[in-house]
Amino acid sequence: MSRPYVIDQMISAKSIAARIESLARDIHAAFDDTDKLVVVGLLRGSFVFIADLVRELDLPVEVDFIEASSYGDGMESSREVRILKDLRGTIEGRDVLIVEDIVDTGHTLSHVTDYLRSRHPARLKTIALLDKPARREVDFRADWTGFEIPDAFVVGYGIDFAQRNRNLPYIGQVRFTDDA
């Protein structure tokens, strides 16, 4: 049985929507000359973010997904990144934007970026909805970040805790009620 917890709202749905509009303008400026931007979402946590982001992009886009894991059902990264699902299409010579939900230790996004860079895209950029720099173990920073947050366990807007709470429209901090 899991520990009882409550979720305190950290970032509202309205704040997320406004930030995504701003990020989309920045991405458009960076890729305004592209014939097609391949937007690669890291499953599963980024699926809500990627859906909202691509709807705000005024660019021709193709969406693909890669699934990498270093967490399983736990709250701590194992630091061993595994590719569970690879891209369906090719990215060689193409413009690519990797979309991640949260950069914590940095291991996953760093690994996936190196993995996709080895496929020789024309340009490769990264975006993360959330960044927790206090937890960083790898010298990696996304090209764009939605929000910098403290070292807190968060859920919502696609991010889960043991496959729960992905459907919350906001980012919330998990607080265990049995903690003293």
Catalytic residues: 104
Q: Residues near 154 by Cβ (< 8 Å), separated by ≥ 6? A: 10, 102, 130, 171, 172, 173, 174
Tally helices (H) and strands (E) across the chain. 3, 9
Other C-beta atoms within 10 Å of 142: how many?
20
Q: Which is it for strands 61-69 and 82-85: parallel, antiparallel or unpaired?
A: antiparallel
> In the chain, what is the straight-line distance between the N-terminal and C-terminal CA atoms, in Å?
19
